[in-house]
Amino acid sequence: MIVRTTLYTVRGGDTVQVLQTAAHLAGHNVSVDIKLTNEKIDYKQYDLLHFFNITRPADMLYHINRSRKPFVVSTILIDYSEYDRYYRKGFSGKLFRYLSTDVIEYVKTMSRWFFGKDKLMTLSYAWKGQRRSIIEILKRATLLLPNSHSEYKRLVQQYKCKTGYIVVPNGIDPGLFRFDEAVEKDPQLVLCVARIEGIKNQLNLIQALRDTNFNLLIIGTGAPNQGSYYQACRKLATGNIKFIENLPQEALVSYYQKARVHVLPSWFETTGLSSLEAAAMGCNIVITDRGDTVEYFGTDAVYCDPGSAENIYIAVTKAAALPHNKSLQEKILIHYTWQQATIRTMEAYKRIKNIWD
């Protein structure tokens, strides 16, 4: 598994996905090594390469061209463009209003490299650009592993993708996230578990719930390149809003157990991994209406418009008044676990083995 260089230092949903998938595959006698994209890799040891995050194609091209091995991609196609164009501050926010989605991502990649925040593994990305690089990877991949059918449809719409795919859902660890019905929920406690950054939209969430009867607990670390956003969140927060640094999953259990509502009002979500975890722990869910969330949550969540603080407040108020949603909890325990994700991943690997034998 070849992953972004910041997988461990800037932890996100993909960090959990990679670590959980690798651990569960080991239980199926699949030997897995996790390598950062800037590590030297002896490709001869491996039958298959598994990449993550199609929005970072520069990380992939180098290894694809050098290894000449079959590969799959867990695409995790996040669309940052609405936030980047209309809500990002400073010079970059003004610039991005005039650029396409792929050009914005190209500028961000090249900027990280130029300022020494990331390594550009291959110069071919510099002249190919974001869009051409992604299209090349999609064409050359043996299979794609999106988190939903909705995500694959977006790949088709954006890049005319024709590569075969198997949906590998995001999941939870049911052995860890075990709901105790005997523990009373706090009707005023609202959680938001996510890295603190513009795309996750904590600023509008704080605007929505400041000086209200709700107690908002934001659990997450500020994104390293968005310090001003983090400070703006802290400055806007009132006495009913608290912050806790990023916690390991084991430590999240007691917070999920106590909260009535979990809210993720992001500008875009492929899934909303913390929302799955919270729902498994009996929280009612408020989640963005942007992205692929409906495929996961259907009518079992309250959706909000991330651009409207008023709408976010209304959604949280509605969710807080609803009874515990057992149907969503049961659906997650049946369909959205890391064991289910591993079964689908194994299905993909076996299909590739049949192709290449």
Q: Digits of tens for pLDDT over the chain (357 positions)?
A: 999 998 999 888 999 999 999 999 999 889 999 999 999 999 999 999 999 999 999 889 999 999 989 999 999 999 998 988 888 888 788 888 888 999 999 998 898 888 877 777 788 899 999 999 999 999 999 999 999 999 999 999 999 999 999 999 999 999 999 999 999 999 999 999 999 999 999 999 999 999 999 999 999 999 988 999 999 999 999 999 999 998 999 999 999 999 999 999 999 999 999 999 999 999 999 999 999 999 999 999 999 999 999 999 999 999 999 998 899 999 999 999 999 999 999 999 999 877 655
Please choose, from the candidates 141, 145, 147, 112, the residue with its C-alpha nearest in 3D space to the C-alpha of residue 133. 141
Q: What pLDDT does 41 receive?
A: 96
Q: What pLDDT does 72 receive?
A: 97
Q: What pLDDT does 356 receive?
A: 58
Backbone angles phi, psi at 36, to 5 degrees: -70, 150
| Distance (Å, whole) CA 239 – CA 257 | 23
Whether 243 contacts 234, CB under 8 Å: yes
Whether 209 contacts 241, CB under 8 Å: yes
| Distance (Å, whole) CA 342 – CA 247 | 25
| Distance (Å, whole) CA 253 – CA 232 | 28
| Matching residue, tokens 């609202």 | 190
Q: What pLDDT does 307 receive?
A: 95
Quote the DSSP letter at residue 172: B
Tell me the Cα Rg of the chain: 20
Distances (CA, A) of 219 to 38, 140, 179, 216: 30, 39, 19, 10
| Matching residue, tokens 């996905």 | 17
Query: Which residues contact residue 235 at a Cβ distance below 8 angstroms, ignoring those fewer than 6 apart?
Result: none
Asked whether the whole model's pTM tops 0.85, one would answer: yes
Q: What pLDDT does 115 receive?
A: 80
